[in-house]
A and B are shown apart, each in its own frame.
Chain A
């Protein structure tokens, strides 16, 4: 019955030994070269603070926002930054918070607040997300802004914006909207708009939620009814028509937080994958005429392996391995793996969360922003996630889970296996934050992709990518027969050892917008051997031996490249 003292010592030794072993990380020397620098302050973004309007009521929307991203508002070819300020509650707060913040890129690594000059200072609401596209095909970047009440469409008039919501057909639904995505569903040359809706919440039907039985905390969405998302068809005259039902988007469970355009069946028509919070994720396959059929459950991408709906937030999709098949990634709650579903055949997807090695490391974090990008320009798409919990004080009730969480940067080994290098490289990505939106762009035009992350009730972060050892080629496309931005254009870049497939798209991530310029990482290669451009109208153009280290423009049908 009584163990000898030696036995005790042995047991303790074993325990300590193996606790220590868990801190080791699989990291190659190459991976250790990745480095990001937090340049928020030097870039002039330090004064930004997202506000929630919280005064102690713990109203659900306060924990969810907000997004932000990149927009070239003045058409100078440099990425500017557009941020959602959040909001305050009427009658609750004395001060009103600006809804939007626009920062002009000074082309020297710094930004200047031009919100007022651009005509965006007068809007006060409770905002969540942005998506950017040239909806009126006049060669500039307009944007759509989601809120808890009326959404707003801003038309770019040569570097200043006009709120054209009223009468646009987008101003009628006063619902809690989240992520929106522009894409040309029917390929008529005008981008349509899918607007995600979340839950039926209002101050009047707010539910009292608690972690400890005595104090109120933020609710999770199970307690509220979902509100179906909406689809608006672009009429080509500056107005939109609600075709949610007509296009096959009803019924739907609502609680949508992310959407990504893809073409998993390679039929040339854009499909849509939707991340839903505590509801099944959705996969809308395009019927080839701008209407859709939802096949998420049958395809195998709607649930986890046990048929459980997860808390889907950010989403992205692309080809990330040698299979040539698209893989969908969805950020989920803590204790839920990031979803990884690779297209298999027909309408079927296989769950690769565990096999990809992303699943296990993602169990302790709650992921909002999520996107694929080539972090080290080696030709493979890597996965960045912005993380942060929704329950303040979660660490006191759930051991091992924290309110503020580090980001993940999963590097791709080229065959769909990923390793989170943040624990190894440390630096700004390892700093615990309350991450929400996330977007990428090469804001300093050095070829590497930099990261923008927003925090709930906190600052924005601009992480400069300092990995500039590898070569690159950046490509802008302009469609002449389809939508001007060339959304849904597929680009395939070929080098000696790589086939890289990229897609021009908006949406993805969480309430945020990344640049639409496509970046090919060339590694040590000097040039792209071939570049195939598959335009939305089904035509293809092919270019050869394009030297890297530059950004080029391709206009549909011209058969030549222009260096920017």
Chain B
């Protein structure tokens, strides 16, 4: 049974930042589960093509087709391909009409497409089968978007009634109270969410901003400093830290953070625009690649990888994007996967001299001189006058 846990953790998932309910798949075939487990790992790494292949493999060994459809629905949801996701989820329902989580995930997809009324309908369907905290909280969120705040508050509270340690519901209730101007209650709920999940920097941020708004900025400075250390791209954290510092008399430091907030905000505005572009052009790999580049530039590596992998799903043989993926692994310190990715590229197209060049650099940096030399020699095999390769080889031989 232990091996089921990671699989089930993700079965109910829509977006990676949400806590999910686990359920037991009593009818799953162990072989199917193995494929789905690997598929879940692949999905976690944003390896969508691999995840789909594993789902197809799992399909061959089970009669419980709903699991497979549900998993495919999750993959397509992560890819932002909502039509395919909806079809997969509906196939799951066809196979097992009471399959838990399907309506919830359909609701999540509708929510992401800003079809909030549709999302409400789906969440209600889920709740009729499964009055669990997750769909109750999700229903609350959809009501918030529709301006139905009384309903939203009720469902957040119902989610908390079922699980008093449901941090996300406390967090949403905090945001709702904040919007309504009830800062004291907002701070209580934000503090509760933060207390339940002290490592969640989003909760920590909202708690801190509430303190700033309540003219208790001095109490928020420590947390806001921690947030900008972890998330240097977070303009809100810089902004609130700047304001809090100025109010306690640390004018120079505060103004520096306000200036940093302005710089980061400009980068964020570009990201916002690129996110709108991928929403409008979901089949365009270059839009995703551009978004990934912008995300990488501000240091949001995991989000950048996600976008690159969506681009590769759309255009699997685009080696420029593969090269960027390899470089991103490198930036994150994952030399092994970076090299594996470079090798993957040159296996398919050995004439790409830039890739060989990069491989050589990585091998050299990891003190694998022979491999570095071979890689740069490959460059010269295709481009005998490549100055960079000649230079690198000269330096390597000189050493």
Contact = CB atoms under 8 A, between A and B. Distances in A.
B224 to A, nearest CB: 11
A19 B148 contact: yes
B181 A356 contact: yes
B151 interface: yes
Q: Is the interface of A mostly helix, strand, loop or mixed?
A: loop
Contacts of B272: 222
A399 B239 contact: no
A117 interface: no
| Interface bracket on A | 35 or more
A297 B262 contact: yes
A8 interface: yes
A63 B124 CA distance: 38
A363 B175 CA distance: 14
Interface string B72-115: 00000000000000000000000000101000000000000011
A96 interface: no
Contacts of B31: none
Contacts, number: 116
A355 interface: yes
Interface stretch (B62-70, B159-167, B240-248, B319-327): B240-248
B235 A308 contact: yes
B186 to A, nearest CB: 9
Contacts of B240: 305-307
A213 B282 contact: yes
Interface string B240-282: 1001001100000001001001100100010011000000111
A14 B139 CA distance: 12
A303 B239 CA distance: 9
Interface stretch (A177-185, A346-354, A383-391, A500-508): A346-354
Contact of B98 (A1, A11, A300): A1
B56 to A, nearest CB: 28
Nearest to B247: A348
Contacts of A21: 150-151
Contacts of B280: 210-213
B337 interface: no
B83 to A, nearest CB: 13
A364 B115 CA distance: 15
Nearest to A303: B239
Contacts of B181: 352, 354-357, 359-360
Nearest to A359: B179
A1 B130 CA distance: 8
B236 interface: yes
Nearest to B209: A305
A236 to B, nearest CB: 39
A425 B315 CA distance: 56
Contacts of A352: 181
B281 A18 contact: no
B301 interface: no
A7 interface: yes
A357 to B, nearest CB: 6
Interface of B: 98, 100, 114-118, 124, 127-131, 139, 145-151, 154-155, 158, 178-181, 183, 209, 212-213, 215, 235-236, 238-240, 243, 246-247, 255, 258, 261-262, 265, 269, 272-273, 280-282
Given A7-B128, A309-B265, 5 more contacts: A1-B98, A7-B131, A11-B127, A21-B150, A355-B183
Interface of A: 1-3, 7-8, 11-12, 14-15, 18-19, 21-22, 210-213, 222-223, 278, 280, 297-298, 300, 303, 305-309, 337, 348, 350-352, 354-357, 359-360, 363-364, 397-400
